[in-house]
C-alpha cells in the first residue's frame, strides 16, 4: 500500500480532520460529501486521521475544552467509514493519525484511557479487529494533489527530499517505544507527521516542494485543536483545521476546494466558500480559550 495518496487534477476535494469517535459529526460530513457528489460526481473526501479514540464521559463530567458533548463511538465511525467508502469506490480516503498508528506499531495514546489502543481493541470482535488492523496498516501518510493542496495528519515539521522517503517509512516503530513527546517527535518522519502541532514556513514550503516539485500550494492538517475551526499559519503554507474534536458545533469547519484550481497559498481560502461550517445552522457560541476560559 502506498504511503502517498495521489489525487487527480480535476474535481473537488473535501477534507475533514480528527473525528475521534464522533459518529454524529461523521454523518454530518458524509452528508456534505454526498451533496458535493450530487453536484460534481468527481468529488473526493479525505479524512486526515484520528477517526477513533474519543471520550466516554457523562455530560456532567465533561470539560469545556472538549467542545460540544458526545460519547465515543469509534467502532460506529469505523464501520460508517467503510460503508461510505464502499458506496463511493476510490473517492473516500483516510490518512494515518497518531491514534490509528498505535494499533499497528506506534505509540499507544493515553488521552481518555491509560491505553486507548487496548481499550478500543477490547471492545472489538476478533473479525472486526483484524479488519481494523488491516485498515490502519494500509493507510497512507499524505494526500497530494497537483492543485497544490497537500493533506497530512499533523504539521509537516520534517525535512523531506521526495515521496520515496515517505514510501520507505515502516509503521512498526522499533522497541522500546518512545515514552515522552520529545522522543516521539524525534522519530524520523513519522514523529513530526503524526504529532507536530505546527512548523516554520521553511519546513512547510520544503515539504510541498518535495512532493509537488514547486514550493507553492499549502498543507492542510489537523491533530491539534483550533477552537475557532481553522487557522492559517506558516505564512500561508499551512492551514490547521478542526472539523470535530475539541470544538463546539458552531465552530467546526471542513475544507472544500477545487482540484482543478492551482492554489499558491492558504491565504486564498475564503470563509464559507472553501472553509465551510460542518453545521451551518448551529446557533453562535463563544469560542473557548478566546471568549472565555
> In sequence order, what DSSP letters do the residues of the chain get, joined into one string?
--SEEEPPSSSEEEEE---TT-HHHHHHHHHHHHHHHHH-SSEEEEE-S--S------GGG--GGG-S-----HHHHHHHHHHHHHHSTTTEEE---HHHHGGGTSPPP-SSSSSHHHHHHHHS-HHHHHHHHHHHHT--SEEE-TTSEEEESS---S--S-HHHHHT--SSPPSSPP-SHHHHHTSTTHHHHHH-S---HHHHHHHHHHHHSSS-SEEEE-SS--TTSEEEEGGGTEEEE-SSTT--GGG-EEEEEESSS----GGG--BTTTEEESSTTPPP-PPBTTTB-
Of 50 and 68, which has the nearer Cβ to Mn ion? 50
Residue 145 or 152 having the CB closest to Mn ion: 152
Residue 30 vs 95, nearer CB to Mn ion: 95
Burial (0-12, 13-18, 19+ Cβ within 10 Å), 4: middle
3-state DSSP of 39-94: HCCCEEEEECCCCCCCCCCCHHHCCHHHCCCCCCCHHHHHHHHHHHHHHCCCCEEE
* Closest distance of CB 65 from Mn ion, Å: 15
Give me the residue whose beta carbon is nearest to Mn ion.
223
In angstroms, give the least distance from the CB of 15 to Mn ion.
15
> Residue 213 burial by CB count (10 A; 0-12/13-18/19+): exposed, middle or buried?
exposed
| CB 75, min distance to Mn ion, A | 19
Residue 98 C-beta: closest distance to Mn ion, Å: 4
- Which residues would be at the binding site for Mn ion (CB under 5 A)? 50, 97-98, 223
Amino acid at each position: 500500500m502506498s504511503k502517498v495518496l495521489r489525487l487527480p487534477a480535476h474535481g473537488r476535494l473535501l477534507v475533514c480532520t480528527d473525528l475521534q469517535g464522533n459518529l454524529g459529526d461523521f454523518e454530518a460530513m458524509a452528508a456534505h460529501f454526498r451533496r458535493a457528489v450530487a453536484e460534481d460526481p468527481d468529488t473526493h473526501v479525505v479524512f486526515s486521521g484520528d477517526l477513533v479514540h474519543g471520550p466516554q464521559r457523562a455530560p456532567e463530567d465533561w470539560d469545556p475544552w472538549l467542545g460540544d458533548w458526545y460519547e465515543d463511538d469509534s467502532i460506529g465511525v469505523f464501520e460508517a467509514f467503510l460503508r461510505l467508502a464502499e458506496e463511493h469506490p476510490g473517492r473516500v480516503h483516510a490518512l494515518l493519525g497518531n491514534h490509528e498508528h498505535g494499533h499497528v506499531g506506534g505509540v499507544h495514546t493515553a488521552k481518555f484511557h491509560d491505553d486507548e489502543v487496548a481499550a478500543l481493541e477490547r471492545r472489538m470482535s476478533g473479525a472486526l479487529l483484524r479488519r481494523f488492523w488491516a485498515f490502519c496498516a494500509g493507510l497512507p501518510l499524505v494526500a497530494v494533489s497537483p492543485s497544490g493542496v497537500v493533506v497530512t495528519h499533523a504539521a509537516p515539521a520534517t525535512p523531506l527530499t521526495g515521496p520515496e522517503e515517505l514510501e520507505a517509512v515502516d509503521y512498526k516503530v522499533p522497541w522500546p517505544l518512545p515514552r515522552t513527546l520529545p522522543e516521539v517527535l524525534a522519530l524520523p518522519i513519522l514523529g513530526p507527521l503524526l504529532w507536530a502541532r505546527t512548523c516554520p514556513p521553511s519546513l512547510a514550503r520544503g515539504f510541498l516542494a518535495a512532493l509537488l516539485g514547486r514550493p507553492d500550494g499549502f498543507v492542510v492538517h489537523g491533530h491539534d485543536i483550533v477552537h475557532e475551526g481553522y487557522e492559517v499559519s506558516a505564512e500561508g503554507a499551512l492551514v490547521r483545521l478542526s472539523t470535530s474534536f475539541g470544538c463546539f458545533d458552531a465552530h467546526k469547519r471542513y475544507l472544500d476546494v477545487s482540484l482543478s484550481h492551482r492554489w499558491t497559498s492558504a491565504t486564498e481560502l475564503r470563509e464559507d466558500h472553501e472553509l465551510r461550517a460542518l453545521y451551518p445552522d448551529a446557533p453562535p457560541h463563544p469560542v473557548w480559550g478566546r471568549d472565555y476560559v
